[in-house]
Amino acid sequence: MSKLSRRRTPDAAAAQAEVRPFEGLARIQPHAAGADIGAHEIVVCIPGPDDTQIVRTFGTYTADLESLAAWLKEYAVETIAMESTGVYWIPIFELLEQHDLRCCLINSATTKRMPGRKSDVNDAQWIQTLHSYGLLSDSFRPDADLIALRTLLRHRAQLIQHRSPHILHMQKALLQMNLQLSQVLSDVTGETGLHIIRAIVAGERDPHVLAAWRNSRCHKDEAEIALALTGTWREEHLFVLQQSLELFDFYTQQITACDAEIERTYSAIRPEWGSDQPELLPLDHKPRSHSKNQPQDVQVRAHLYRIVGVDLVAVPGISESSAQTIIAEVGSSLERFPSAKHFCSWLGLAPHNDISGGKVLRSYRLKNHNRAGQAFIQAAAALIRSDTVFGACYRRLKSRLGPAQALVATAHKLARVVYKMLKDKVPYEHTTAQEEEERLRDREIAYLKQKAAKLGLILADTEGTVVS
């Protein structure tokens, strides 16, 4: 319920500031509100009569949020801006949306105040003022169905991160017993490694019996694996190994349960267009695109193809895991992004230029935590040595920009391709590095011909033949 009610009159505002910073400007959104959200209370400011502001404080219980929505409706508020403070804004945002109020989630960096006393009331009044004059831009949020999918995918990524330290604990326990399993196996949590570790925890100590669990695809033979499994077998390290294995299995079970929930969420999502689509074709240019951490019992590629209408996995470097991350973060349609430039800028893949006096002082990439942008960078990193147009692009730019900027530029090129596919619903056409080099050569020859003609010269090859 409401706890505080305040009115700021024009006289009080004049006493606080001698100069009105917004004098002469027209209010674009006269029925706009601003909210400062905290863990225990929400301070909301709405426009009052005769250029005044009304401020009230509400609690964070559901009953308080219902009272807030009714209060906003009573004063004919149409839109409300709020800062993205932790996760406190999520229940408020979703409840107000259910009451047909347009909610704008804004970045706190865009509401910097002038020096002076700071309070929750002043922050709410400042947000309401900026929002009423149209000086705040809201953050992007995908559709409601994809928000549920995004929540599960982010939770699954956290489970994988929580499981990773226990793999290191198992390796550390083995090394302290001088069991060099990591030297003969590329992955101790693979089929061979887990069989051996489970046998050790069960009490097996014979290295030749342990080496018999070797998979036929291992590069090392049983004799070398047996040599690596001859150790000291100290009890304290065996205890750590047992508990680390149990924690690894626990997180693996939780990831499997999360995969089942992701499959159910995928099945509940309905595309906005018809379902008459051709069958998915096999990916001949991606024979080994399987990722160990991708969902095992979820038909990710088929679900994404049904939802968005195009096959993103067909793009080189983009796996099923990265494709579902991109779709969950950016949505199935890109209506909020007018062009590929806006899309790449939101991803954090476009350069930020500091310009003064018409000159670019420096150009750099803004630091952000955009998960979709990180997925594009990971996809570009997988194509560094590939025989694709993106691999050729990276190798061409590396000598001029350096490896870091060339990687971002390649991710930028990938993002533009994905934007074109999602926006126009066109399939990806695979292009080899040789075809890209030939296209660049033809473009360079055309440029040289044009420049030679401008200088009154004739372009000829090394044998003297005029290039037509």
Q: Is the pLDDT at 2 greater than 50, yes or no?
A: no
Q: Note the pLDDT of residue 289.
A: 54
Q: Is the pLDDT at 6 greater than 80, yes or no?
A: no
Tokens 């083995």, located at residue: 174
- Cα–Cα distances (Å) from 170 to 201, 252, 436, in that order, read 11, 15, 46
C-beta separation of 184 from 226 below 8 A: no
Q: Note the pLDDT of residue 13.
A: 43
Rounded Cα distance between 263 and 416, Å, is 29
Rounded Cα distance between 410 and 416, Å, is 10
Averaged over 9-20, what is the pLDDT? 45
Q: Note the pLDDT of residue 95.
A: 92
Q: Note the pLDDT of residue 19.
A: 46
Three-class DSSP labels, 203-260: CCCCHHHHHCCCCCCCCCCHHHHHHHCCCCCCHHHHHHHHHHHHHHHHHHHHHHHHHH
Closest by CA to 411, choosing from 444, 467, 365, is 365
Closest by CA to 305, choosing from 148, 149, 425, is 425
Closest by CA to 146, choosing from 272, 287, 313, 311, is 272
Q: What is the pTM of this model?
A: 0.80
Q: Whole-number mean pLDDT of the chain?
A: 85
Rounded Cα distance between 262 and 418, Å, is 23
Rounded Cα distance between 211 and 305, Å, is 43
C-beta separation of 134 from 31 below 8 A: no
- Cα–Cα distances (Å) from 242 to 95, 203, 219, 226, 412, in that order, read 46, 11, 27, 21, 45
Q: Which of 103-117, 236-250, 323-337 is predicted with the least confidence, judged by mean pLDDT?
A: 103-117
Amino acid at 63: A
Q: At what angle do helices 371-381 and 340-347 cross, to 10 degrees?
A: 90
Q: Note the pLDDT of residue 22.
A: 64
DSSP bridge partners of 360:
355
Confidence of residue 151 (pLDDT cuts 50, 70, 90): very high
Averaged over 388-396, what is the pLDDT? 90
C-beta separation of 79 from 32 below 8 A: yes
Q: Which of 121-130, 289-298, 330-339, 432-441 is predicted with the least confidence, judged by mean pLDDT?
A: 289-298
C-beta separation of 128 from 33 below 8 A: yes
Q: Note the pLDDT of residue 379.
A: 93
Q: Note the pLDDT of residue 140.
A: 84
Confidence of residue 113 (pLDDT cuts 50, 70, 90): low
Give the rounded percent of residues in the chain with a pLDDT score beyond 70.
Answer: 89
Q: Note the pLDDT of residue 238.
A: 95
Tokens encoding 188: 């101790």
For the stretch 153-202, pLDDT in tens is: 999 999 999 999 999 999 999 999 999 999 999 889 989 999 999 999 99
Confidence of residue 18 (pLDDT cuts 50, 70, 90): very low
For the stretch 208-224, pLDDT in tens is: 999 999 988 888 899 99
- Give the three-class secondary structure for 99: coil
Q: Is the pLDDT at 21 greater than 50, yes or no?
A: yes
Other Cβ atoms less than 10 A from the Cβ of 253: the count is 10
**What is the H or E stretch that residue 398 is in?**
helix 389-401
Helices (H), 89-219: 89-98, 120-132, 144-176, 181-184, 191-202, 207-211
Residues 6+ apart with CB under 8 A from 364: 351, 352
